[in-house]
Structure 1
Amino acid sequence: MSPDTVTTIGGTLVQHGRLSDRIYVMHLSPADLPEILDDLDALSQKEGYSKIFAKVPASALPLFISRGYVVEARVPGFFRGREDGYFAAKFFDAERRRESGDVAAVLAAVREKAGDAHPAALPPGWTCAPAAEDDADDLAALYGEVFATYPFPIGDPGYLRETMAGDYRYFLVRTEDGRLAAASSAEIYREDENVEMTDFAVHPDFRGKSLSGFLLLRMEEEMRAAGMKTAFTIARALSYPINAVFARAGYAWGGTLVNNTNICGGFESMNVWSRPLER
């Protein structure tokens, strides 16, 4: 099945498609309110999607609630470090709204690690650096190996090069002999002054070396220098390792997006974690 499509409705950036059977409002243009809500409903009904979820500023939340949305997660200071943001969802299928995994058990386990980040160090001779266009083939191969399905076409070198030219910054860890061991990306929302820490992948040969934690710290340094106010992630809710990375780094859990994303071969719920980057 092909990846979902990213497009605009008015000035609002959305992703939608069959793969994740949903509409994702990635960036809401306030100028599109309230008409955008009718447009989203119409698109959902036309395509038969079972969920809409949207990143919504606190000032617009009552309008979404009045139209049948529920709050799944909250991020303090999400917009320019001043206004809270909410992940609001509207379900069109009761089964989609039913959580099937034990997310609470994962959260309880990772909270025991909260704030327990140890200074990570790479093995001798290894490097960590921002990716360049020449790295796209290696990066796509790593993502293709780690993720059976993914909501964005990160297994396509062309897509990676296209996003590198925009507001994505990929970071790579390579071994002393140049093998790509791990990668991640920072998806920058300049207008909102926030950044999504995402696309973490560690090659199976190199797991257990805290490479995701190292990448996260490196990205935080870069994004703080770039003026971003808030960092967040949308992490697989039943994956202990990635949730532990963010808990250890001092991120706060903001909520769970139920049956939200087709990733690693099936639908999964996703945890929202965030932290302010300003010191």
Structure 2
Amino acid sequence: MQPDSIIHVGNSVVQHGPSNDRVYLMKLDPDDLPEIAHEIYELGRQNGYTKLFAKVPAYATSHFASLGFVDEARVPLMHKGECAGYFMSKYMDQRRSIPENMERISKVLEQAERKATTSQRASGENEVVRLRLGNLDELAALYSTVFKTYPFPVHDVEFLKESMLADTAFFGVFSDTKLVAAASMEMDMEWQCAEMTDFATLPEYRGKGAAGQLLTSMENAAGDLDINTVYTIARAESFGMNIVFSRAGYSFGGTLHNNTQIAGKLESMNVWFKQVGTR
């Protein structure tokens, strides 16, 4: 299945398509308020999508709430260190609002909370490095191996190149000369926040702390920039990734139900956040 399209609605950035079966308002331009809420709704209705999803600052929530959007997660001080960011959803088909595996999602959160104060296991054998344009082929190959399907075309070298040249920093772990793990930091310098995302480790190198090492390196990089808040949208049924963020001092912000298509199915996602900037 082809990845969903990324378009502009007004000056705002929107992803939509059948892969995730949703409309996702990724980047709101305040000048598009209040019309953008209705335009998102119409785009979803006309295409028959079952979910509408919007990341918006606190001051914009009323425009979406008036159309039946509810906040499934929130991140304090996400917007310029001044107000919260809200992840708001509207289900065009109520069946999508109910996760199939709530018991496992609850167990993941319980275990993440229990292990929040335990130390992160790391082999310490391999250094984390920031990836450059010369690493794009091996980065795409890594993502193709780990993710058979993904909400963004991370297997595509051109997409990775565009991302790297824009606002995304990729980091990797090498074993000898082989790239064995990677992640990215998508920076929003207007909001002064960054999403820690696209974590991938080859199966034979898992359990050695690569994700935790990557996260620490990205946080250190964020600390050198004008970034106040870092956050992630992690697979809600993944014990490993939720524990990584809990151990790193992140707080739980909410669960996005049946939100993202990964590995051929819609998965619920947990939002975790951490304040890293000084105000």
TM-score (norm: length of structure 1):
0.96
- Is 1:212 the equivalent of 2:211? yes
2-structure distance, mates of 1:185, 1:228: 15
Aligned residue number for residue 92 of structure 1: 92
Q: Is the 8 A contact 2:231 2:271 kept in 1?
A: yes
Structure 1 residue 205 displacement after superposition: 1.3
For the aligned residue pairs, the C-alpha RMSD in angstroms reads 1.2
5 Å-filtered alignment, 1:154-233, equals 154-175=154-175, 177-233=176-232
5 Å-filtered alignment, 1:63-82, equals 63-82=63-82
Letter in 2 for 1:245: V
Q: Is the 8 A contact 1:116 1:249 kept in 2?
A: no
Q: Is the 8 A contact 2:230 2:273 kept in 1?
A: yes
Structure 1 residue 38 displacement after superposition: 1.6
Letter in 1 for 2:36: I
Letter in 1 for 2:183: S
5+ residue gaps, structure 2, are none
Aligned residue number for residue 51 of structure 2: 51
- Is 1:6 the equivalent of 2:10? no
Q: Is the 8 A contact 2:78 2:193 kept in 1?
A: yes
Q: Is the 8 A contact 1:22 1:49 kept in 2?
A: yes
Aligned residue number for residue 112 of structure 2: 110
Q: Is the 8 A contact 1:117 1:249 kept in 2?
A: no
Aligned residue number for residue 266 of structure 2: 267
Structure 1 residue 142 displacement after superposition: 0.7
Cα distance per residue 1:1-37 (max 9 Å; x no partner):
1001111111111111110000111111111111111
Aligned residue number for residue 137 of structure 2: 137
TM-score (norm: length of structure 2):
0.96
Structure 1 residue 118 displacement after superposition: 3.9
**What fraction of aligned residue pairs are identical, expressed as a percent?**
44
Moved more, 100-109 or 210-219: 100-109
Cα distance per residue 1:139-195 (max 9 Å; x no partner):
1111111111100000111111111111000001001x2111100000001100000
2-structure distance, mates of 1:115, 1:39: 44
1-structure distance, mates of 2:127, 2:60: 44
Q: What SS class does the counterpart of residue 96 from structure 1 fall into? A: helix
1-structure distance, mates of 2:140, 2:16: 22
